[in-house]
Amino acid sequence: MRPAAASILLAVVAGACTRGGDEDPGARPPGRQEGAAPGTAALDLDDPAAALSLDADEVARRLGSFEWTAAIEWTVSRQGDEAQRVRAVERHRIRQSATGDFDVAAEIDPGLGPGSETGKEIISAGGMTYARARAAPWRERPTDLGRDARRFRGESFSAAAAVLRLCGPVAAAPAGEATVIGRAARRFLLSLAKDAPVPAAPARPAGLPPPDEDTERRLRFLAGRVPASCGGELVLDARTGAPLRVRIAAVFGVRDEPKVRSTVELLAQMKGLGGEVPAIGPPRGALPDERKPAGVAAALDAAGLRQREEERGGRAEPADEAGD
């Protein structure tokens, strides 16, 4: 496989994985209706796809504790004498408690061979964040304050919305009723909106230095992608409008690269509600946060600096990352 083909695939995955989440806990979640009582928000029949912009906290307010999974398969192929095909798979799992605690795991196999798989899991429980990379031990992340944990959760939970954004305007036609995990639901069939314009590439902020070669290739894909088809099914809870299941299958061409074809298939769905969802708590055997050299920590303790910081109620590293 040539590096160019692999970079196109990684561009697709990176474009979808850079998703907006619920990192601002003070903001009103998208789709929230003013004055709606918890669990009774109305189903928006005029724009059912907007339900995919609800964040995990809002869905928990409507449905209670839940478990949500998503699997996404990306394929990029190049036709012609140098035919190529590469496949990548994302897997996401979210357990969200009605109390606000949550457990999120994400794995990506970019299709580049053994050793290329990556993954991370984050737990937010009792006001503390715990994180581990794939096959690594759990560690406390006391400086996260929940910020990066919520962002990581948002990126996983918004997978379906991110794929639809790549497709551009999508129509959702009513398709009758259904039952999902014991709840009455409404079905909608997804398709590209009639005469939908080609979606624009994300604007690049002014003043940034020129991108490296890989980033430039990804930006060219995002700018040149042409949705050829998009179909699937969206199933929403009939009483609250919360998403219960979504299937998406989309095909993209790439402007100025007629031999390249990219496809994506997504299945995201509720796997459990209420008492079916296991309780979320701190992981067993979590290690303390030791990303700082022990000598630095000891020097701070000896000088009394860390103690004075704690007495003021502050944190030494408020902007620290939640992951390894």
Asked if pLDDT for residue 67 goes beyond 50, the answer is yes
Q: In this structure, is residue 174 part of a structural domain?
A: yes
- Number of structural domains found in the chain: 1
Task: Lowest mean pLDDT of 42-56, 76-90, 294-308, name the range.
Answer: 294-308
**Residue 17 confidence (pLDDT):** 46
Q: Is position 189 within any domain?
A: yes
129-157: burial string, b at 16+ Cβ within 10 Å, e else: bbbbeeeeebbbbebbbbbbbbbbbbbbb
Contacts of 187 (CB under 8 A, 6+ apart): 174, 175, 176, 177, 178, 233, 234, 235
Q: What CA–CA distance (Å, rounded) separates 212 from 229? A: 31
- pLDDT tens by residue, 172-228: 999 999 999 999 999 999 999 887 666 666 677 777 888 877 777 777 777 888 899
The pLDDT-based confidence of 14 (bands split at 50, 70, 90) is low
Give residues with Cβ within 8 angstroms of 270, minimum separation 6.
63, 66, 67, 68, 180, 181, 243, 244, 245
Residue ranges with strand state E in 19-169: 66-78, 84-96, 102-109, 118-125, 128-133, 139-140
Q: Classify residue 48: in a domain, yes or no.
A: yes
Mean pLDDT, residues 300-324 taken together: 52
Alpha-helical segments (H) within 225-304: 294-303
More confidently predicted of 115 and 229: 229
Using CB atoms within 10 Å of the CB of residue 253, give its burial: 0 to 12 exposed, 13 to 18 middle, 19+ buried.
middle
Residue 24 and residue 172: Cα distance in Å, rounded? 29
Percent of the chain at pLDDT > 70 equals 73
pLDDT of 299: 65
Q: Report the Cα–Cα distance between both ends of the chain, in Å, rounded.
A: 30
Residues in CB range of 115: below 8 A, 6 or more apart: none
Asked whether residue 324 is assigned to any structural domain, the reply reads no
Written as one letter, the residue type at 174 is P
Question: Is pLDDT at 64 greater than 50 in this prediction?
Answer: yes
Between CA 40 and CA 11 the distance in angstroms is 39
The 10 Å CB-count burial string (b at 16+, else e) for 284-309 is: eebeebeeeeeeeeeebeeeeeeeee
Predicted local distance difference test score (pLDDT) of residue 209:
84
Across residues 40-62, what is the average pLDDT? 88
pLDDT at 274: 95
> What pLDDT, in 10s, does the model give residues 238-285?
999 999 999 999 999 988 888 889 999 999 999 999 999 999 999 999
**305, 278, 319, 318: which is closest to 102 by C-alpha?**
278
Give me the helices (H) in 134-203, please.
147-157, 159-167
317 domain-assigned: no
135 occurs within a structural domain: yes
233 pLDDT higher than 90: yes
Q: Is this prediction's pTM over 0.95?
A: no
- Which residue range is the domain that position 95 belongs to? 3-27+39-311
Residue 320 lies in a domain: no
What is the chain's alpha carbon radius of gyration, rounded to the nearest angstrom?
Answer: 22
With a CB cutoff of 8 Å and minimum separation 6, the contacts of 68 are 56, 92, 93, 94, 96, 157, 268, 269, 270, 271
pLDDT the model gives residue 323: 44
Q: How many CA atoms lie within 13 A of 192 on its CB side?
A: 18
Phi, psi of 43 (to 5 degrees): -80, 125
Q: What are phi and psi of 295, to 5 degrees?
A: -65, -40
User: Does any domain span residue 322?
Assistant: no
The whole-angstrom separation of Cα 18 and Cα 159 is 9
Instruction: Give the pLDDT confidence of 96-151 residue by residue, as tens digits.
Output: 999 999 999 999 998 888 888 999 999 999 999 999 998 899 999 999 999 999 99
pLDDT over 90 percentage in the chain: 54
Say if strands 66-78 and 84-96 run parallel, antiparallel, or are unpaired: antiparallel
User: What is the token pair recorded at 148?
Assistant: 């990066």
pLDDT over threshold 80, residue 230 = yes
pLDDT, position 257:
84
- Interhelix angle 3-17/213-224, nearest 10 degrees: 70
Q: Which two tokens stand for residue 248?
A: 């998406």
- Tell me the average pLDDT across 5-34: 45
